[in-house]
Structure 1
Amino acid sequence: MTTDEHVVLVDEAGNATGTAPKSSVHGQDTPLHLAFSSYVFDEHGRVLLTRRASQKVTWPGVWTNSCCGHPLPGERLEHAVVRRLAHELGLAADRVDRVDLVLPRFSYRAVMGNGVVEHELCPVYRVVAAGSPSLNPEEVDEARWMPWKEFTDGVLSGLLAISPWCREQVPLLDALGADPLGWEAAPEAELPPAARL
């Protein structure tokens, strides 16, 4: 993360209200801002789980979905997804076969034990990619592939410890169908206004 990287601030309706340095928006009074979550699948429908780096400000060392991030001001969300996959997991664009919007309006607020808040309007993407990840240790401590049903069963039963946003997303994704490679993509028109470029 560079100190001058900015995120897009949004209101409850998803309209952009300005920008702020990324370094300033994760604290005890975190403003609602635009982000994304992505779930990377291989050709067999296995999902790539990652454990957040231990030096992360929010939820360090916690297992979560494949990759999360923030679009830069003026950046299309799917471009931000591909950019962060390359940065965090070494999955270059030529290894990404599909990037599909699946939950266009997901939003959440979560509070860590130390009071740090994550507050994001966070559309969710399904990514189909080939090859093994090459982890950036500044972002990811560990990664593993898991069959989708095993993952969802673990999260829905409460037996699998996972990040709070992922815990909220999984029931919504599960409702899309048992085969993640067969989920219908959502139209881009359903994205919040700030994400429609």
Structure 2
Amino acid sequence: MTSDELVVLVDEEGHAIGTARKSSVHGQETPLHLAFSSYVFDHDGRVLLTRRAAHKVTWPGVLTNSCCGHPLPGEPLDRAVTRRLSYELGLPAAPADLMLPAFAYRAVMGNGVVEHELCPVYRVTVDALAVPNPDEVGEALWLPWKEFVDGVLSHALAVSPWCAEQVPLLMELGPDPLAWTPADESGLPPAARVSHGAG
């Protein structure tokens, strides 16, 4: 996504209230906007982690989940997940399963820059090698899910603030990420309930 592309602004109940250029929504007065997080797994249950590129505005160089991003106006979130996984990690299209439909967070960097997102979380299972795009990703690595979770929960592994909040919620779905039952899309914020026929 370029900084000229639009993100969807939302109110506290998750209704779309407008759009703004991506370049304008990550600062010290960041408005609540629609986003997503995704966790990519291989068929052995390992999770793909990424280190955010060093030139990122928010949390540069920080280890995090596989891929995050923003849907374009009118774009279904699962399509946005697939689009960003292709762009950031060179991964082929695969089903994106909704796991945490109502996740939201607000986090502030040391320099005052804020992330403030309604950020549903998706699981994607792939059988392919990741090819990181250096514009977005500094490093990509696979870890066994339990090793990753144990590291996050013990604070031995430093990750992005949203990832740190998501991991305990994902653990509530069960110890095996490949066996998680997808959530109902009716739990998505209203702004994210976009028909696949739209856009």
Q: Same fold (TM over 0.5)?
A: yes
Residues 44-69 of structure 1 deviation map (CA, whole Å, 9 limit, x = unaligned) = 00000000000000000000000000
Residues 37-94 of structure 1 deviation map (CA, whole Å, 9 limit, x = unaligned) = 000000000000000000000000000000000000000000000000000000021x
User: Could you tell me which residue of structure 2 aligns to residue 117 of structure 1?
Assistant: 114
User: Could you tell me which residue of structure 1 aligns to residue 62 of structure 2?
Assistant: 62
Counterpart amino acid of 1:31? P
Relative to 1, partners in 2 of residues 1:171 and 1:3: Cα closer, same or farther, differing over 3 Å? closer
> Pick from 158, 178, 181: which aligns with 1:181?
178
Equivalent runs, 1:16-95 vs 2, <5 Å: 16-93=16-93
* Percent of aligned pairs with the same amino acid: 73
Q: Which runs of 5+ in 2 are unaligned?
A: 195-199
> How many residues end up aligned between the 2 structures?
194
TM-fit CA distance, 1:3: 3.6
User: What's the RMSD between the two structures over aligned residues?
Assistant: 0.6
TM-fit CA distance, 1:99: 1.2
User: Could you tell me which residue of structure 2 aligns to residue 128 of structure 1?
Assistant: 125
Measured in 2, the distance between the counterparts of 1:123 and 1:195 equals: 9
Counterpart amino acid of 2:35? A
Counterpart amino acid of 2:25? V
> Pick from 99, 102, 114: which aligns with 1:102?
99
Counterpart amino acid of 1:184? T
Measured in 2, the distance between the counterparts of 1:129 and 1:177 equals: 20
Measured in 1, the distance between the counterparts of 2:141 and 2:2 equals: 27
Q: Which runs of 5+ in 1 are unaligned?
A: none
Measured in 1, the distance between the counterparts of 2:108 and 2:3 equals: 23
TM-score computed with the length of structure 2 as normaliser: 0.96
TM-fit CA distance, 1:2: 2.4
Measured in 1, the distance between the counterparts of 2:26 and 2:62 equals: 17
Q: Is 1:171 the equivalent of 2:164?
A: no
TM-score computed with the length of structure 1 as normaliser: 0.97
Measured in 2, the distance between the counterparts of 1:85 and 1:107 equals: 21
